[in-house]
């Protein structure tokens, strides 16, 4: 059978049961009911032997600290809304559809009213069921995700949310704050030649003194926090900060890393409130200037991030909720012009290629399948009073987050990226000619910039 036809046949056979999308921009709720909120959390720690980072690094050997999925179900703005952060590297394509479908079903809503964002730790699962199906057919490639484990997590999600929605809490007030994080984030793309071409990447960790000495570069230094209250009682707090959340990884030791550990510190200090951490637009931002990859740096980064959380919580001024709504925009970005279906299929089937390269090509082919099927990415935003919570896909560059803030300078805009990870990196248009790692592994044509920016503008309008 022709490999293109065979892959497409398999992709089209993948179940999309329950997938419900608006055809364009969904209107904000026109009336505000009494708000209620149900926090939830469940374990998503992979078992021994499970692939880490989609088979691109060492499989699980031990667990240093557990991985969690933490979120909220919100009522009072039309159908229920679900927002969830998962301690995984990524959830892509049909895997992301399935997560949103199961969470929607458990909460009694539709998948277009569910946002699932990953924190993006790397000693964690990177789940793409479509790519897994492709590598399974080869018979000699390491797995990308254990499908049984994936579905056990969804079963856990269903039962946890069904239990949580039985005991919702009234939500009367909302507050927002921000705290500056010191010596954590730095731009990865700061080493350039006179023409602006990327020479070297600073990365999540760095031991090159010349690169370390370079400036932080473009980042968003503010950790933003939004807190939901019942009267004077904090019920749930959502934190947003843009940096790759890795100190050291690739050793097979599962960890929520410094972002998850900072969240857990705050949760332990205030157990009656549910704390949720979202990674912002960090595609070109990491801790490399301040992280040499050694084990003693992890607790240091944890402490610095936790200090940002504490600063953001200081001096909160809750205000009564008087308006709100949920918006969605569909995005179907164009693929990279260099992606050719038959060439990718041949590389995946070539035993002389490295397994990492072949698995990476499987992710690319899965993305092409999705575009052939015209299954869009859903962008979404929750609006409450002057707060805008923005949910974006994949590894967006930090410029998208900064643009969003400039679009609504009189509003409090907090961005969570690493939603549907199908496209991998999403650079801005101007960075494509500069090359570098992030551009080399981006699955979309540079036109994605205009489409994504327009979508953000619609969501925030």
pLDDT above 90 for 284: yes
For the segment 328-349, the average pLDDT, to the nearest whole number, is: 93
55 band by pLDDT with thresholds 50, 70 and 90: confident
**pLDDT in the model for residue 33:** 72
279: helix, coil or strand? strand
Rg of the chain over all Cα atoms, to the nearest angstrom: 21
CA distances to 25, 335, 344, 350 from 454, rounded to whole Å, are 11, 18, 31, 40
Q: pTM higher than 0.85 for the full model?
A: yes
For the segment 53-69, the average pLDDT, to the nearest whole number, is: 95
| Of the candidates 430, 428, 436, 429, the residue with the CA atom closest to the CA atom of residue 396 | 428
31 band by pLDDT with thresholds 50, 70 and 90: low
Which helix (H) or strand (E) segment holds residue 106: the answer is helix 93-107
Q: At what angle do helices 3-13 and 129-138 cross, to 10 degrees?
A: 140
Q: Report pLDDT digits (tens) over 88-129.
A: 999 999 999 999 999 999 999 999 999 999 999 999 999 999
Tell me which of 299 and 1 has the higher pLDDT. Answer: 299
DSSP state of 59: P
Do residues 29 and 382 make contact, with C-beta atoms less than 8 angstroms apart?
no
pLDDT above 70 for 27: no
Which helix (H) or strand (E) segment holds residue 253: the answer is strand 253-254
Q: Report pLDDT digits (tens) over 240-276.
A: 999 999 999 999 999 999 999 999 999 999 999 999 9
**pLDDT in the model for residue 320:** 97
Q: Report pLDDT digits (tens) over 369-408.
A: 999 999 999 999 999 999 999 999 999 999 999 999 999 9
Tell me which of 419 and 339 has the higher pLDDT. Answer: 419
pLDDT above 70 for 18: no
4-18, 155-169, 341-355: which has the minimum mean pLDDT? 4-18
Q: Report pLDDT digits (tens) over 132-141.
A: 999 999 999 9
pLDDT above 80 for 4: no
CA distance 305 to 310: 9
19 band by pLDDT with thresholds 50, 70 and 90: very low
54-58, 198-202, 229-233, 369-373: which has the minimum mean pLDDT? 54-58
Residue 99 burial class via C-beta count within 10 angstroms: exposed 0-12, middle 13-18, buried 19 and up: buried
Tell me which of 4 and 161 has the higher pLDDT. Answer: 161
CA distance 240 to 429: 24
For the segment 428-447, the average pLDDT, to the nearest whole number, is: 96
**pLDDT in the model for residue 414:** 98
pLDDT above 70 for 51: yes
Question: Residues 6 or more apart from 47 whose CB is under 8 A from it?
Answer: 60, 146, 149
Do residues 223 and 276 make contact, with C-beta atoms less than 8 angstroms apart?
no
| Cβ burial 162-191 (10 Å sphere, 16+ → b, else e) | eebbeebbebbbbbbbbbebeebbbbbbbb
Q: Report pLDDT digits (tens) over 300-324.
A: 999 999 999 999 999 999 999 999 9
pLDDT above 90 for 7: no
The token pair that represents 444 in the structure block: 């979309």
Instruction: Name the residue ranges covered by the structural domains of the chain.
Output: 3-454
């Amino acid at each position: 059978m022709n490999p293109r036809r065979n892959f497409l046949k398999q992709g089209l056979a993948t179940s999309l049961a329950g997938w419900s999308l608006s055809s364009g921009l969904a209107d904000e709720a026109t009336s505000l009911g009494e708000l209620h909120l149900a926090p939830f959390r469940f374990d998503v720690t992979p078992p021994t032997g499970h692939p880490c980072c989609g088979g691109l690094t060492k499989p699980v050997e031990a667990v240093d600290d557990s991985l969690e999925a933490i979120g909220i179900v919100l009522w009072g703005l039309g159908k229920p809304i679900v927002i969830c952060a998962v301690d995984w590297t990524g959830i892509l394509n049909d895997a992301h559809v399935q997560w949103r479908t199961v969470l929607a079903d458990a909460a009694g809503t539709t998948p277009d009213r569910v946002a699932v964002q990953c924190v993006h730790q790397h000693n964690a699962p990177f789940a793409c069921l479509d790519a897994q199906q492709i590598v399974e057919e080869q018979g000699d490639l390491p797995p990308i995700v254990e499908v049984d484990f994936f579905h056990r997590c969804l079963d856990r999600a269903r039962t946890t949310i069904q239990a949580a929605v039985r005991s919702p809490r009234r939500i009367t007030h909302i507050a927002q704050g921000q705290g500056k994080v010191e010596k954590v984030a730095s731009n990865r793309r700061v080493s350039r030649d006179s023409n602006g071409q990327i020479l070297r990447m600073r990365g999540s960790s760095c031991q090159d003194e010349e690169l370390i000495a370079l400036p932080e570069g473009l980042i968003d230094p503010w950790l933003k926090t939004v807190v939901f209250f019942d009267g004077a009682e904090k019920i749930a707090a959502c934190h947003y900060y843009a940096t790759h959340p890795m100190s050291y990884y690739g050793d097979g030791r599962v960890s929520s890393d410094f972002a998850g550990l900072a969240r857990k510190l705050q949760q332990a200090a205030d157990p009656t409130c549910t704390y949720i951490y979202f990674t912002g637009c960090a595609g070109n931002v990491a801790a490399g200037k301040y992280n040499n990859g050694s084990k003693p740096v992890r607790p240091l980064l944890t402490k610095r991030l936790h200090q940002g959380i504490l600063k953001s919580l200081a001096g909160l001024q809750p205000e009564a909720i008087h308006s709100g709504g949920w918006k969605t925009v569909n995005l179907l970005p164009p693929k990279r012009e260099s992606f050719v279906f038959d060439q990718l299929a041949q590389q995946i089937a070539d035993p002389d290629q490295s397994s990492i390269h072949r698995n990476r090509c499987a992710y690319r082919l899965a993305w092409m399948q999705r575009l052939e099927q015209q299954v869009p990415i859903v962008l979404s935003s929750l609006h409450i009073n002057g707060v805008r919570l923005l949910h974006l896909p994949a590894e967006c560059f930090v410029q998208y987050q900064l643009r969003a803030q400039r679009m609504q300078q009189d509003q409090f805009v907090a961005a969570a990226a690493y939603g549907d990870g199908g496209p991998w990196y999403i650079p801005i248009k101007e960075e494509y000619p500069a090359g570098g790692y992030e551009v080399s592994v981006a699955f979309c044509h540079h036109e994605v910039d205009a489409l994504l920016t327009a979508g953000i503008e619609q969501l925030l309008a």
